[in-house]
């Protein structure tokens, strides 16, 4: 192998990691910018809930819980513990991303990491996560969530589907 080919292989092996890190930065930026705009541009805390489209409101919720209201009474020490746990998980995700050579995996894992970091920033800055996207229709109402939550849920779903498809290819 020539030196140029070896360098190309080494460089190519870093491309999925770079893509994952870029995805994490995009999700983190979109999450934090949307929250900043909701709080200081749109002034949602003063407005409560604002209809945007049929089935979509911007509704201000300061989420002190983890997921679906769990551990909502954990207090300041709980907030620190949840933040540390989330950052340890992000560290594990970064190791997974560094080892993966598949762009789908690194993008999904990067989006999860970016979303988790965005919510940790909120917990440490505000004492709660800023949630504001409220979907509802015909008497049905979903939890109020944010851009980070969306990225995390969609990415976990993508990893599950990818895992199922990969298992199908291995057994088939």
Residues marked as catalytic:
131, 149
Helices 147-171 and 103-126 pack at an angle, to 10 degrees, of 150
| β-strand pairing of 129-137 with 49-53 | unpaired
Pairing between strand 140-141 and 56-63? unpaired
- The H helix count followed by the E strand count for the chain is 5, 4
What is the spatial distance between Cα 74 and Cα 23, in angstroms, rounded to a whole number? 31
Q: Rounded distance, CA 104 to CA 96, Å?
A: 12
Whole-angstrom Cα distance, residue 145 to residue 45?
Answer: 15
- The set of residues, in sequence order, having a beta carbon less than 8 Å from that of 51 and lying 6+ positions away, is 57
- Cα 63 from chain centroid (whole Å): 15
């Amino acid at each position: 192998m020539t030196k140029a080919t070896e360098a190309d292989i080494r460089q190519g092996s870093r491309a999925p990691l770079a893509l994952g890190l870029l995805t994490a930065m995009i999700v983190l930026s979109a999450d934090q910018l949307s929250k900043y705009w909701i709080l200081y541009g749109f002034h949602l805390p003063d407005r409560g809930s604002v209809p945007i489209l049929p089935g979509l409101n911007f509704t201000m919720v300061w989420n002190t819980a983890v997921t679906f209201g769990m551990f909502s009474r954990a207090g300041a020490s709980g907030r620190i513990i949840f933040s540390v746990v989330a950052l340890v998980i992000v560290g594990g995700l970064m190791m997974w991303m560094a080892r993966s050579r598949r762009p789908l995996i690194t993008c999904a894992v990067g989006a999860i990491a970016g979303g988790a970091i965005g919510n940790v920033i909120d917990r440490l800055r505000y004492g709660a996560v800023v949630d504001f996207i409220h979907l509802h229709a015909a008497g049905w109402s979903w939890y109020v969530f944010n851009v980070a939550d969306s990225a995390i849920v969609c990415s976990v779903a993508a990893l599950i589907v990818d895992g199922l498809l990969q298992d199908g290819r291995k057994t088939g």
